[in-house]
Structure 1
């Protein structure tokens, strides 16, 4: 039974990190048979954690693609969600939007100082992005980075542990983007290309060397 629970968790982690998968692909990534993967997915589907969608792929039978439901995404940690939302609403009601903005700015400053201690000691942009991804991974964002064919970098975050708070107050997201730009320095340009709050399954950031540095 414990092994089955562990395999189910692996399947959900793959769908969280990699996005939708066919039964065959998921079975291969889990290292089990397609029948074994089908059994797990049907169990997770009955519990409301995953869903499937049939999609025509040229000639032949349509393929089923499996992905997480909202309940499945919610299975991953969201930092003290209920308490955080209550505190945000309380601050807005009792002290106003300006007070909330000041608190977010103060928290952002603390995060910036924490990141600087690790990132500013590095020399290259790639090293900075790598360190940033490691910091975000430790904070629960399921983060990673990769180098593109153009020599740019993508910072990818497959989970947002403050998603509920950010949904209520998007200044959390804008402050994060400002922090990234500051710690990566003037030699980098960063742009958010995917955003969980707009319906994407993950947040992604394109990071490029600035034109002045290239020149």
Structure 2
């Protein structure tokens, strides 16, 4: 999912999901020529959406690596960010932190019940993870599941509530608790990358318990 970007901005979606890319990598992902990819990137760079840095790897020629700028990241919006943060601040200031905690907990409980209902027929861990990623993608998180050693990585390439989470990190705590409850006691779930701590994405390591 690339948040329904127009055709001339599809490179933004690829970089958002896969991280900084070389020109050759982008051309392959977009299934176009290198010159076609260069045309798209230069246009996006002119609009301030991407920027290139040069990296030397081994003895080969230095490569340009293309990444999103802050403006490029803004193409993947934090839904209702300003209003949400104002509401969080109002609840905290008027009703107190305990009241805010109860609201976050209630929201997490409602989400958990919805996830459990949708995934009730998926008993295999991989199928359950794929189903969870599909739900999260529908909610704007651009989620994916990757095999990782003896377990899996549940990756969220975008956070559509980032401003709210930054204002009230109870949302992130509730998210981790929800994933643990959805996936069950037979697995361990650990957050190994966190957007709020400067990572490009949020990622959760899922391994067999014990």
2:56 maps to 56
Residue 109 of structure 1 deviates from its aligned partner by 0.7
Helix, strand or coil for the counterpart of 1:159?
Answer: coil
1:1-215 mapped onto 2 (5 Å cutoff): 6-148=6-148, 150-211=149-210
- CA distance in 1: counterparts of 2:94 and 2:62, whole angstroms: 55
What TM-score do you get using the length of structure 1 for normalisation?
0.91
C-alpha separation between the residues in 1 aligned to 2:115 and 2:29? 34
CA distance in 1, matches of 2:199, 2:23: 22
- CA–CA distance in 2 between the matches of 1:44 and 1:143? 24
Please state how far the C-alpha of 1:132 moved relative to its aligned partner. 0.9
Alpha-carbon separation, structure 2, partners of 1:13 and 1:130 = 20
CA-CA distance at 1:77 after TM superposition: 2.8
The answer as to whether partners of 1:20 and 1:66 remain within 8 angstroms in 2 is yes
Deviations 1:116-138 (A, max 9, x none): 10223322222221111111111
Unaligned runs of 5+ in 2: none
- Displacement of 1:37 in angstroms is 1.5
- Residues 108 and 179, structure 1, Cα contact 8 Å, conserved in 2: yes
TM superposition shift of 1:20: 0.7
The residue matched to 2:66 in structure 1 has which SS?
strand
Ranges in structure 1 where 5+ consecutive residues have no aligned partner: none
* Structure 1 residue 49, shift from structure 2 partner: 0.9
CA–CA distance in structure 1, aligned partners of residues 8 and 52 of structure 2: 16
Determine helix, strand or coil for the equivalent of 2:6: helix
Over 4 Å off, 4+ runs: none
Q: Which moved more, 1:176-185 or 1:75-84?
A: 75-84
- Cα deviation, 1:71-125, whole Å, max 9, x if unaligned, reads 1111113221111111111111111111111110110110011011022332222
Q: Is the 8 A contact 2:20 2:65 kept in 1?
A: yes
Q: Do the aligned residues in 1 keep the contact of 2:193 with 2:202 (CA within 8 Å)? A: yes
Contact (CA 8 Å) 1:120, 1:183: kept in 2 or not? no
After superposition, the C-alpha distances for 1:29-51 in whole angstroms (9 at most, x for unaligned) are 21222222122112211211111
1: CA distance, partners of 2:113 / 2:102: 17
